[in-house]
Structure 1
Amino acid sequence: MVLDILSALPGIEILERTSSTLRVQQVVQLSLAPAFLLAGIGAVMNVMTNRLIWVANKIERILDAGDEGDVAAMRAELPALELRRIYAQRAVMFSTASALAISVVIVLLFVSAFVRTPLGTLVAATWVICMGLLVAGLGSFLMETRTAAHRNRERMRERRGASD
């Protein structure tokens, strides 16, 4: 009954189109590159997330510190840490959106093989959106690492100046 309804839908001849093993193989082959990109995005997101967690934990430790030790020096780190947190959070959000967009590309590739409606423009537009989001995520990650390196250089200069 469900198969009869699906075969009667205008523009969708899903039973006839999915019976071709060759067509399914072609779609699987086409979706491999986006799938590998998705795995790469996941690996980069793992690094980004670990940095975000580290920064958030450091901020929390500084804010929870009592009057023990050199609290003023620890609190001086907060602006740079907060900036790093913002960049890392943006990087994770943009990368997650990119992963979602690449997943949509994979779905569209499969759907396009089984419907008569041309979806090439939609697939291409979604791919461009995915790449834009990925570039934004990597750019935010670059800014986070740059901020960390800049703060480390400042700390080294301060230590050298204090020892002179």
Structure 2
Amino acid sequence: MPTLPAVSSIAQSIQLSLSPIFMLAGICALLNVLAGRLSRVIDRTRALETLYPGSTGLEHDRHVWELRLLDRRITIINLALFLAVASAVATCLVVALLFVGSLTSLHVGPAVAVTFILAMMMLTIALTSFMIEVRVSLRAIHVRADLLR
């Protein structure tokens, strides 16, 4: 008959899983920021789409330029969101593997390490994408040269 793990073993598993849980909280904060930025980009895109048909000349060109920029931002934010969610899922898997490993005799150490490395890599790329999106968004904020004359 298999024996149940001791309370101390379960407590140790909970202690081991705290670091990934804090990482998960940080990822959730990042997801909140990214979702907010995506919402604002979509709102701006919809506003420009209503102005676009009635515009001509330089104003039309400016709308086209900004719509292309907004489309690029949507793509970048979507990538960052996907990677952040994938990182969160991998982090949850790390926590689950830590518990499985401590409650059973399975040797899941390599799987935990690989999963955590993948989670960190995806999070790093998500944060890099976020940084790129912020840089792209700054292009639309600069005062146009034709207005400075």
TM over 0.5: yes
Greater CA drift, 62-71 or 105-114: 62-71
- One-letter amino acid matched to 1:161: D
Distance in 2 between residues matched to 1:47 and 1:25, nearest whole Å: 33
Q: TM-score, normalised by structure 2?
A: 0.90
Distance in 1 between residues matched to 2:139 and 2:67, nearest whole Å: 14
Distance in 2 between residues matched to 1:80 and 1:97, nearest whole Å: 26
Q: How far off is 1:143 after superposition?
A: 0.8
**In structure 2, what is the equivalent of residue 161 of structure 1?**
146
Q: How far off is 1:149 after superposition?
A: 1.3
Matching residue within 1, 4, 7 for 1:21: 7
**In structure 2, what is the equivalent of residue 10 of structure 1?**
none
**In structure 1, what is the equivalent of residue 19 of structure 2?**
33
Residue 33 (structure 2) pairs with residue 44 (structure 1): no
Structural RMSD (CA): 1.8
**In structure 2, what is the equivalent of residue 75 of structure 1?**
64
Count of residues in correspondence between the two structures:
146
- One-letter amino acid matched to 1:67: G
Residue 121 (structure 2) pairs with residue 118 (structure 1): no
4+ residue runs of structure 1 moved beyond 6 angstroms?
none
Structure showing greater Rg: 1
**In structure 2, what is the equivalent of residue 4 of structure 1?**
none
**In structure 1, what is the equivalent of residue 119 of structure 2?**
130
SS state at 1:136 partner? helix
Which deviations, in whole Å up to 9, do the C-alpha atoms of 1:78-106 show, x marking residues without a partner? 11111111111111110000000000000
User: Any stretches of 5+ residues in structure 1 without a counterpart?
Assistant: 1-6, 8-12
Greater CA drift, 116-125 or 62-71: 62-71
User: Any stretches of 5+ residues in structure 2 without a counterpart?
Assistant: none
Q: How far off is 1:68 after superposition?
A: 6.8
Distance in 1 between residues matched to 2:136 and 2:4, nearest whole Å: 53
Q: Percent identity, aligned pairs only?
A: 29
Distance in 2 between residues matched to 1:74 and 1:27, nearest whole Å: 55
Structure-to-structure mapping, 1:97-116, within 5 angstroms: 97-116=86-105
Q: TM-score, normalised by structure 1?
A: 0.82
